[in-house]
């Protein structure tokens, strides 16, 4: 068959977790010409497979990047994390609203078939979950818009709904999936981070089953409500148990906005086409744990650096103390300055241990990079910390840099409520240096992160935090949520 006779299939998000498997499946058919459009926000060049044409670009510009007239479009290229979307609504708007609007216009122009990858969050908690996060809201709105336009203009379309996909090429880190997080914690020996209450259930579905369903819907499916999910649901606590995470190793984190308790699953329409989930989560995890040795258990301990701490507190410190109270089994060693004569620490939770340096005067913060670094090194030689954490990009962060070479200890810097306006040339230089030498820097919201990048003309580092990566991600998320709440209360 000549190239001109082949069926042209476009997969947006084709370098992502699910998209790469779909591209691989479609490219196996010699009658298909498969084109991937991905902006690599979460996609990876490592996910490229043979026989697929890869084009890098935003879905907002799909008409510029795809000049061919496609026969079929699989639109998977959207923002795809529920709780994280609360922290970055601007990115969700860009990818899920503006990007999808252009894909829909492209579909209308070429009058080909569109398979839209909707989200099962639309059906969570009796339908209420769609209003709890920017991700859930935009995905629900988009699925309804595709249906409305398809029916009104009599265009071929099908809408699928994924239920907690797992399998090869899963992501870790801030945009990671639940099963991959547990796998990483298992391998590293890190404590198992479980979001309360732990009884929330999910219909975990293997990516091979998802791809089987997508291919079938692309060929035969028409209309809405193609639920692609395994009928067997498991609670998060049950999943933790499958990985051998007992009570002593588990850490319960505060509940999160957008974290639904359950979702309604209907597979009637896809079953009518002959699809049934074949893969078992229990077998998948059993095969993983039998093939991989659990890492030596790490201490539930974090090394924290803060310019000030109780009784001298602001939003950043108060938020940290509140979080520490929510995690009573995690020990926090805090390196901070004396910065005053008061010795009252009666308001600190028992799991927070202060290590004060300095001479008890206003110059302490200038001494912190050196004296705090020395103290941090001493502590890092004493304990096997999950990671080091500086509450802000401050003098404390400079002290924290000294401990990074010890035991390959990774450093997370959170910006909390930090004001980045009117920074001097000196402070801009220090901030830029921090960004180059730190493993991860996260703001409380995207506007703050954009400010830092504008001030320093440097992208924020998003490197792995090693063995403590998955656990650190849970702490960072919970902390940002508390900071936002406390900042709102103080306004």
Strand, helix or coil for residue 113: strand
pLDDT (tens, 9 = 90+) of the chain, 491 residues, equals 667 789 999 999 999 999 999 999 999 999 999 999 999 998 999 999 999 999 999 999 999 999 999 999 999 999 887 767 777 888 889 999 999 999 999 999 999 999 999 887 766 656 656 666 888 889 989 999 999 999 999 999 999 999 899 999 998 777 778 999 999 999 999 999 999 888 999 999 999 999 999 999 999 999 998 999 999 999 999 999 999 998 888 999 988 765 656 666 788 999 999 999 999 999 999 999 999 999 988 899 999 999 998 777 899 999 999 999 999 999 999 999 987 655 556 678 999 999 999 888 888 889 999 999 999 999 999 998 999 999 999 899 999 999 988 878 999 999 998 888 878 888 888 888 888 899 999 988 888 888 888 888 888 888 888 888 889 988 998 998 899 888 765 55
- Length of the chain, in residues: 491
Characterize the bridge pairing of strands 223-228 and 157-162.
Answer: parallel
The dihedrals phi and psi of 454, each to the nearest 5 degrees, come to -70, -40
What does the H/E/C string look like for 279-296? CCHHHHHHHHHHHCCCCC
Please give the DSSP secondary-structure letter assigned to residue 205.
E
Collapsing DSSP states into helix, strand and coil, what is residue 277?
Answer: coil
185-216: b or e for each residue (b if 16 or more CB lie within 10 Å)? Answer: bbebbbbbbbbeeeebbbbbbbbbbbbbbbbb
Closest by CA to 406, choosing from 424, 432, 385, is 385
Pick the CATH number of 301-479 from 3.40.50.20, 3.40.50.970, 3.40.50.2000, 3.40.1180.10: 3.40.50.2000
Q: 412: closest CA among 424, 423, 421, 403? A: 403
Centroid of chain to Cα 488: 24
CA angle 135, 138, 141 (to 5 degrees): 145
Angle at 446 between CA 12 and CA 320, to 5 degrees: 125
3-163+204-231+263-278 against 301-479: fold identical:
yes
Q: 39 with 94: CB under 8 angstroms?
A: no
Question: Domain spanning 3-163+204-231+263-278: which CATH class is it, in words?
Answer: alpha beta
Please state the domain extents for the chain: 3-163+204-231+263-278, 301-479
H helix runs in 333-410, sequence order: 364-382, 395-401
- What is the C-alpha separation between 337 and 356, in angstroms, rounded? 5
Over its C-alpha atoms, the chain yields an Rg (Å, rounded) of 24
In 259-351 the beta strands, taken as DSSP E runs, fall at 301-305, 331-337
């Amino acid at each position: 068959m000549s190239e001109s006779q082949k069926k042209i299939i476009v997969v947006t998000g084709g370098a992502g977790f699910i998209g790469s498997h779909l591209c691989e499946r479609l490219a196996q058919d010699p009658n298909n010409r498969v084109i991937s459009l991905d902006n690599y926000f979460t996609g990876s060049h490592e996910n490229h497979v043979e026989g697929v044409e890869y084009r890098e670009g935003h879905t907002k510009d799909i008409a510029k990047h795809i000049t061919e007239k496609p026969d079929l479009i699989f639109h998977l290229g959207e923002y795809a994390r529920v709780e994280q979307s609360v922290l970055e609504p601007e990115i969700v708007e860009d990818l899920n609203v503006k990007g999808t609007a252009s894909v829909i216009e492209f579909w209308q122009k070429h009058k080909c078939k569109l398979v839209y990858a909707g989200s099962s969050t639309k059906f969570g908690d009796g339908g209420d979950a769609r209003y709890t996060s920017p991700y859930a809201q935009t995905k629900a709105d988009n699925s309804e818009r595709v249906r409305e336009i398809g029916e009104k203009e009599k265009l071929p379309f099908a809408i699928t709904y994924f239920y907690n996909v797992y399998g090869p090429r899963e992501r870790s880190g801030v945009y990671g999936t639940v099963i991959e997080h547990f796998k990483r914690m298992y391998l590293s020996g890190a404590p198992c981070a479980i979001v309360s209450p732990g009884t929330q259930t999910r219909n975990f579905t293997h990516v091979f089953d998802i791809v089987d369903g997508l291919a079938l819907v692309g060929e035969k499916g028409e209309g809405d409500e193609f639920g692609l999910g395994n009928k067997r649901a498991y609670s998060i606590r049950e999943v933790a148990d499958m990985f051998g995470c007992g009570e002593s190793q588990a850490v319960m984190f505060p509940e999160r906005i957008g974290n639904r308790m359950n979702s309604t699953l209907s597979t009637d329409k896809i079953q009518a086409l002959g699809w049934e989930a074949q893969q078992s989560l229990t077998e998948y995890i059993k095969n993983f744990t039998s093939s991989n040795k659990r890492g030596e258990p790490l201490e539930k301990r974090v090394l924290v650096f803060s310019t000030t701490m109780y009784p001298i507190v602001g939003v950043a410190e108060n938020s940290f103390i509140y979080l520490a109270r929510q995690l009573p089994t995690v020990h926090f060693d805090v390196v901070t300055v004396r910065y005053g004569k008061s010795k009252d620490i009666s308001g600190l939770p028992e799991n927070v241990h202060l290590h004060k340096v300095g001479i008890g005067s206003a110059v302490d913060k200038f001494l912190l990079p050196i004296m705090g670094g020395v103290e941090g090194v001493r502590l890092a030689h004493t304990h096997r910390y999950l990671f080091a954490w500086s509450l802000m990009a401050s003098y404390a962060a400079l002290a924290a840099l000294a401990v990074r070479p010890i035991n390959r200890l990774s450093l997370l810097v959170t910006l909390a409520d930090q004001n980045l306006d009117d920074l001097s040339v000196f402070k801009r230089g220090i901030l830029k240096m921090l960004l180059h030498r730190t493993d991860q820097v996260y703001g409380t919201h995207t506007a703050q992160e954009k400010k830092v990048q504008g001030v320093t003309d440097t992208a924020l580092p998003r490197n792995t935090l090693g063995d403590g990566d998955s656990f650190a991600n849970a702490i960072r998320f919970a902390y940002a949520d508390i900071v936002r709440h406390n900042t709102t209360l103080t306004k």
